[in-house]
Each structure stands twice: as C-alpha cells, then as structure tokens.
C-alpha cells in the first residue's frame, strides 16, 4: 500500500567471530550480557552476539566488487529480484544498499511505491544519488543510517531486504529491533546470506551465516521465520515476518 515517506536514513554495520568469550561486553545503553568480547579473529571485530563473531564492514572502496559484471551469473541476482514478494505500491527498504545494485531493480517493480536505500556510508549513498542524476528510476530515496538505527519510519515499510550485510552489523540487536519496528504488521524481512553450512561457498567464514543462526537472531527481535528457499547458487533466501497482532 502506498504511503508518503520523508527522506530518511538507515544503516548496515559491523563485526563478530566464533571463539569462547573471555569477558562480558556492554552496549552503549548499558545492557550487559547481550554482547561479549573476544580476541578479534582475522576478519572480525572481536564482538560476539549469540555465539557469532561480527565481521568487518566492507568499505566503499570495494564498491566495484558489488557491481562486477559476473555477479548476476555467479549469484543469480536476477532470480533474487524476481522472487521478492513485492506489490507495485510497496515501500521497500534496501538496508546496506551499497551502490544501489538491488535498489534500482526493485524500484522498477514498485513504480507506484518507493525504495529507501539505506547505508551507513555517505560515500555509497553519493554513488546512488549520482546514478539517480543519470536517469535511473527516481523512486529511490537515499537514507543515511547509523550503526544502531536505520532511521526508518515506524510502521511505514512493507518489506526490508538485506543482502550480504547483516553479518556486518556491529549492533545487530539494536538494528534488528529498529527494523522490526519499521515494518507494517505482516511486513516481511528478506535476509540473504551466504550459506555457512556449505564449505564449497568461496566466502570467508565470518561473511557467511547458517540458517539456524539467522533464525535465532531474527526470533530474538520478534520476527517469525516463514520459510527458507535455496534456489540461489550460494546464498540462503530467508523470509521473516512481523506478527500481525
């Protein structure tokens, strides 16, 4: 359903790995026991959430990797976009939007709606705004987020898409809670992550997630696991829903 959205801002961030925690961490809000600290692994920040070490964030200097010509063939991103449960007037949030690789194709599928392209790096949003100036779909709005808040309108988003970014969130609980609040009742969050269960997926361990880990973390923020589809060559396509009551 179409609704008016002011220019907003969102975020995707951070880090964690798998080792036994050696001390209890604290969130900025003073909540103990949610996060723990360990010696950082090679690709992690040493911060652990629900047994998972958070990985480093991919910086804007790697933007070219997101737009590599072979990506569609390797990851079947065309299938991913076509299988998203979108209505023409939906408001969609692309969290961790990067260069807008998914934002613009989604905008074509919601011509009467809007895509909120959220990232914590202004450099990424500058790329998206430049692409808008060059004539790609205009119903994409950039949103600068923080590491704890995507700055989305409460109850104003029909669907959230997160592609290979959630494992980088430095504050997954805070970000997850904010995203859940942004969804309309019955709204869905589509989480795409490389399959950690499959050793053949050529991605660093901290940049992959198991289905069980993802389900546990989404349930912790009040989202229900609807289904997992594995039609993509390397990634889980996991669907979560906000309860309608």
CA-based torsion, 65, 68, 74, 78: positive or negative? positive
Q: Which two tokens stand for residue 26?
A: 């604290």
Residue 208 has pLDDT above 90, yes or no: yes
pLDDT for the residue 213? 98
Domain annotation covers residue 79: yes
Quick one: what percent of the chain has pLDDT higher than 70? 82
61 — pLDDT class (breaks 50, 70, 90): low
Tens digit of each residue's pLDDT (9 = 90 or more) over 126-151: 999 999 999 888 899 999 999 999 99
The pair of three-digit structure tokens given for residue 166, joined into one six-digit string:
């959630």
13 has a pLDDT exceeding 60: no
Residue 62 belongs to some domain of the structure: no
36-51 pLDDT per residue, tens: 999 999 999 999 999 9
Q: Given this model, what pLDDT does residue 63 score? A: 60
3-state secondary structure string across the chain: CCCCCCCCCECCCCCECCCCCCEEEECCCCCEEEEEECCCCCCEEEEEECCEEEECCCCHHHHHHHCCCCHHHHHCHHHHHHCCCCCCCCEEEEECCCCCCCHHHHHHHCCCCEEEEEECCHHHHHHHHHHHHCCCCCCEEEEECCCCCCCCCCCCEEEEEEECCHHHCCCHHHHHHHHHHHEEEEEEEEEEEEECCCCCCCCCHHHEECHHHHHHHHHCCCCEEEEEECCCCCEEEEEEECCCC
- The count of domains in the chain is 1
201 lies in a domain? yes
Question: 198-202 long-range CB contacts below 8 Å, 24 or more apart?
Answer: 198/234, 201/234
What end-to-end distance do the CA atoms of the chain give, in Å?
18
pLDDT of 204:
93
Please tell me the predicted confidence (pLDDT) of residue 157: 98
Domain range spanning residue 225?
71-241
> Who contacts 136 (Cβ-Cβ below 8 Å, separation ≥6)?
100, 104, 107
What integer is the mean pLDDT of 192-215? 96
Is 226 part of any domain? yes
- Residue 29, phi then psi, degrees to nearest 5: -85, 5
Q: Determine the Cα–Cα distance for residues 114 and 219; give it in Å rounded to an integer.
A: 27
| Total number of residues shown for the chain | 245
The whole model's pTM is what? Answer: 0.85
The token duo for 36 is 């723990």
Q: How far is it, in rounded angstroms, from Cα 100 to Cα 115?
A: 10
186 domain residue, yes or no: yes
The predicted pLDDT at position 27 comes to 41
Looking at residue 59, its pLDDT comes to 60
The pLDDT value given to residue 23: 31
3 has a pLDDT exceeding 50: no
Ranges 32-41, 89-98, 231-240: which has the least confidence: 32-41
pLDDT at residue 119 greater than cutoff 90: yes
Q: Which pLDDT belongs to residue 138?
A: 87
pLDDT of 21 > 70? The answer is: no
* Contact predicate 205/195, CB 8 Å: no
Predicted local distance difference test score (pLDDT) of residue 135: 86
CA nearest 40: which of 16, 22, 20, 4?
16
Give the domain CATH number at 139. Answer: 3.40.50.150
Assess if residue 92 is contained within a domain: yes
Residue 218 lies in a domain: yes
Alpha-carbon distance of 85 to 136, in angstroms, equals 22
Query: What number is the average pLDDT over the span 111-123?
Result: 96
6 within a domain of the structure (yes/no): no
Torsion of CA 125, 126, 131, 133, to 10 degrees: 120
- pLDDT tops 90 at residue 179: yes
């Amino acid at each position: 359903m179409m609704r008016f959205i002011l220019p907003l801002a969102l975020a995707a961030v951070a880090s964690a790995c798998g080792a036994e925690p050696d001390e209890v961490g604290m969130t900025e809000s003073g909540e103990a026991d949610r996060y723990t600290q360990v010696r950082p692994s090679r690709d992690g920040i040493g911060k652990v959430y629900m047994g998972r070490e958070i990985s480093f964030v991919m910086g804007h200097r790697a933007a070219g990797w997101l737009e590599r010509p072979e990506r569609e063939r390797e990851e079947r991103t065309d299938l991913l976009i076509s299988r998203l449960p979108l209505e023409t007037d939906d408001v969609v949030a692309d969290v961790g939007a990067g260069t807008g690789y998914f934002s613009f194709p989604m905008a074509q599928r919601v011509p009467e709606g809007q895509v909120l392209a959220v990232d914590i790096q202004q450099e990424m949003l500058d790329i998206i705004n430049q692409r808008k100036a060059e004539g790609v779909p205009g119903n994409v709005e950039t949103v600068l987020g923080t590491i704890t808040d995507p700055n989305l309108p409460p109850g104003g988003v029909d669907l959230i898409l997160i592609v290979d970014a959630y494992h980088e969130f430095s504050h997954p609980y805070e970000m997850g809670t904010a995203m859940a609040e942004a969804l309309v009742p019955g709204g869905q969050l589509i989480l795409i992550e490389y399959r950690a269960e499959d050793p053949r997926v050529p991605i660093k361990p901290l940049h992959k997630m198991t289905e069980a880990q993802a389900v546990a973390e989404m349930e912790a923020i009040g989202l229900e696991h609807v289904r997992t589809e594995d039609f993509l060559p390397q990634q889980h396509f996991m669907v979560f829903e906000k309860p309608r009551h």
